[in-house]
Chains A and B, each alone.
Chain A
Amino acid sequence: MGTPSGLKDDCEALLSRFQEMDSVRFEDFAELWRSMKFGTIFCGRMRNLEKNTFTKEALTLAWRYFLPPYTFQIRVGALYLLYGLYNMQLCQPKQKIRVALKDWDEILKFQQDLINAQHFDAAYIFRKLRLDRAFHFTAMPKLLSYRMKKKMQRAEITEEFKDPNDRVLKLITSDVLEEMMNVHDHYQRMKHVISADKSNPEKSLDLIKDDFFDNIKNIVLEHQQWHKDRKKPPLKLKVKGGEEKSERNSQQSERCERAESLAKIKSKAFSVVAQASKSRRHRQVKVDVSDSESGQVQTKTTRKRKNKETLKPAGKKVSSRDRDDMQNIHMEDKSLNLSMPVVTEEDEENESFSETEFTAPKRRRKQRTKS
């Protein structure tokens, strides 16, 4: 029997809520457990055989989250979950938790970490499970019967519980970006210096795309955003009034909020957080609405441009899909507007930008669809 339907959803709902609490206290977990009435998961007049199978599956499922590569908090949550499931089960005698030999050493190490970090409640609970003889000490985590399954069901690891393993971000870190940008700056300045016309570099020296650095940054941010979007299904917003103007306004406010949320994401990605005050709101990140994809990030805009942008969707044929996308924007808490950490580069780019307001977005769009 595979994992009973809904069980994975329920466990992950519990664990993700626990993760959001940012705590590893059993007290908090128990509160969550009671509020979700998780103990009732065994209710419903299951007959004996089904009760046994269901409980076994539940314990196996919860056990997976207790082992690496999940984050520390998730693992503690899984321990509490196991404690809850084991003690609230209705089977008589109780179904046990299977531990394979290869995992035991890791578990003991975890237990020691808990004690060292003085997370006594977690350590107490593990100790209690052992004293209650809740474990079966086995060779392998599950029974192996050489079933030639047509579809090999590999256990999927829930991404959001994992420590993020973003190779793109590892490659292009904020340091790398900063350095790239400095080099780019320097290069541009050099071109200016050695050119005859001090304001414009020689055409013959145009060997790279000017916005090369911007593109890389945007691509990385898009990638990051895609990561985030993948994890969290977008919440649906209430449908605002049908009037175009109000729609525009709502789109605008949604975009603002979206922009803020993206800014928050960016700040997490780039460890240096520069909080821009309200006077610098023009540096607020904006969403390029004209694209039909769920979210594109434009890092630099002017206020003028923002207004112009709002007209675009009205002018263009806004497909219903776009509308849906607008409504499906993930709402985050309002956070302060955040700009890119390095200011000088923005000034420069802003200038060039305001000149080519209309054309620039189009160009970007083209480039994006190309890539």
Chain B
Amino acid sequence: MAEDSRGDPACGGMDGRKDPVPSSGGFNFPEYEFPELNTQAFHVAAFGELWRGRLRGEEDLSLKDLPGGREVTDSGCEDAAVARDLGCSLETAAELRAVCGLDKLRCLEEGEDPEVIPENTDLVTLGVRKRLLKHREETLRIDRACRQETFAYEMESHAVGKKPENSADMIEEGELILSVNIFYPVIFHKHREHKPYQTMLVLGSQKLTELRDSICCVSDLQIGGEFSNTPDQAPENISKVRTIIEWSESHDRGYGKFQTAKMEDFTFNDLYIKVGFPYLYCHQGDCEHVVVITDIRLVHHDDCLDKTLYPLIIKKHWLWTRKCFVCKMFTARWVTNNDSFAPQDPCFFCDVCFRMLHYDAEGNKLGEFLAYPYVDPGTFN
């Protein structure tokens, strides 16, 4: 995906698109173009620099572990630092440490279970939660997370805090992390209102091609061709067919003029983007994905710090896979039309059931049918 890359004023690029809301801040200060919807375009690396400039010299950008056990640190030393930063006396600093300690926030006694809702609470939130728990207790036999919830949580947290084995793979301080939603091209009726998407985290320093390569799309796996007579020639292990069309092809689609740009020449840092704005990624000639960059922020110590794991997928829409009509157990790998054996048209089969039903022991075709290899959208679950 190549953005309409505007040149820097210094090197005389082409004119940018006109924005409805004039930008009041600096050139690369993220601001809403349409309130609550998307921002105006800004340069990613320049935005990063605006933040880094403000935080330089402080510990905010550091990715190092905090000195272990803050209670162990020399409180006298800490007080001196406080006194210096706030411009107060050492006594005041010591007093502050006592007055603002975390123990002042504790609401539970020593032995109390942090998960149990206290009896006489005025908090509305807890009242609501209590009722919900009671309802769950009354209606559910087993109260635990469903597969989808476990899956979603795993996706969100599986890489958190990971450090690379090789220190060369460590993300640099001040690196930017972009959060990208890539919508599936699958069109089901039930997805009318909320189109399913996956969310990926990508580093500012990574090339566009790296994101492209990480997008798993079933259209990459489609094999054209009817294989009822030669079922064995349908590739067993379908490998990705990579015919990625250059962005310039979209000229025919009437989306307006776009500059041809080689994806491998650009990193995300080089782009001018609008946060929250839908872009289009086109591949395989006609497979279109809507892409929205939802967030950009500085890397944090608690993020996954292993460069090699990026682009990192953190959210995926769980798609129900179509199961074989016969065994209802395995994911369908074949779809047939005009099938004399099948009760419906089209009909889906897993590999084993397909062969058992349509071919004899010697492998001769039985009956009349048309068979196509099928790749279920949920293959990438």
A and B form one complex: yes
- A interface vs B, CB < 8 Å? 4-7, 9-10, 13, 26-27, 30, 33-34, 36-49, 52, 83-84, 87-88, 90, 93-94, 96, 98, 100-102, 104-105, 108, 115, 118, 120-121, 123-125, 127-128, 130-133, 135-140, 143-146, 152, 154
Q: How far is the CA of A44 from the CA of B131 in the complex (A)?
A: 11
Inter-subunit contact A102/B107 (CB<8 Å): no
A-B complex: 9 closest residue pairs judged by Cβ atoms: A144-B276, A6-B124, A39-B107, A138-B297, A6-B125, A139-B30, A30-B104, A44-B129, A37-B107
Q: Which A residues are in CB contact (< 8 Å) with B301?
A: 133
Q: How far is the CA of A363 from the CA of B150 in the complex (A)?
A: 71
Residue B156 CB within 8 A of the other chain: yes
Q: How far is the CA of A118 from the CA of B36 in the complex (A)?
A: 37
The count of A-to-B residue pairs whose CB atoms sit within 8 angstroms is 196
Inter-subunit contact A52/B82 (CB<8 Å): no
Inter-subunit contact A10/B66 (CB<8 Å): no
Q: Which A residues are in CB contact (< 8 Å) with B96?
A: 120-121, 124
B contact face: mostly helix, strand, loop, or mixed: mixed
Q: Which B residues are in CB contact (< 8 Å) with A30?
A: 104-105
Inter-subunit contact A10/B124 (CB<8 Å): yes
Residue B118 CB within 8 A of the other chain: yes
Inter-subunit contact A133/B60 (CB<8 Å): yes
Residue B181 CB within 8 A of the other chain: yes
Interchain nearest-CB distance for B282 vs A (Å): 18
Inter-subunit contact B107/A38 (CB<8 Å): yes
Q: Say which size band chain B's interface belongs to.
A: 35 or more
Interchain nearest-CB distance for A23 vs B (Å): 13
Q: Which of B58, B106, B116, B179 contacts A130 (CB 8 A)?
A: B58
Interchain nearest-CB distance for B252 vs A (Å): 25
- Assuming A34-B107, A131-B59, A146-B292, is B298 touching A136 (CB within 8 A)? yes
- Assuming A137-B297, A144-B276, is B100 touching A39 (CB within 8 A)? no
Q: Which A residues are in CB contact (< 8 Å) with B179?
A: 143
A contact face: mostly helix, strand, loop, or mixed: helix
Nearest-CB residue, chain A, relative to B298: A137
Inter-subunit contact B130/A139 (CB<8 Å): no
Q: How far is the CA of A130 from the CA of B115 in the complex (A)?
A: 28
Interchain nearest-CB distance for B133 vs A (Å): 6
Q: Which B residues are in CB contact (< 8 Å) with A7?
A: 124-125
Interchain nearest-CB distance for B250 vs A (Å): 20
Q: Which A residues are in CB contact (< 8 Å) with B127?
A: 6
Q: Which A residues are in CB contact (< 8 Å) with B59?
A: 130-131, 133
Inter-subunit contact A40/B126 (CB<8 Å): yes
Q: Which of B114-170 contact A (CB under 8 A)?
A: 114-118, 121-130, 133, 145, 149, 152-153, 156-157, 160-161
Q: Which B residues are in CB contact (< 8 Å) with A135?
A: 60
Residue B214 CB within 8 A of the other chain: no
Choose, from B83-91, B216-224, B255-263, B354-362, the stretch at the interface.
Answer: B83-91
Interchain nearest-CB distance for A129 vs B (Å): 11
Inter-subunit contact A143/B125 (CB<8 Å): no
Q: Which of B326-374 contact A (CB under 8 A)?
A: none
Residue B47 CB within 8 A of the other chain: yes
Interchain nearest-CB distance for A125 vs B (Å): 6
Inter-subunit contact A124/B86 (CB<8 Å): yes
Residue B230 CB within 8 A of the other chain: no
Inter-subunit contact B294/A37 (CB<8 Å): no
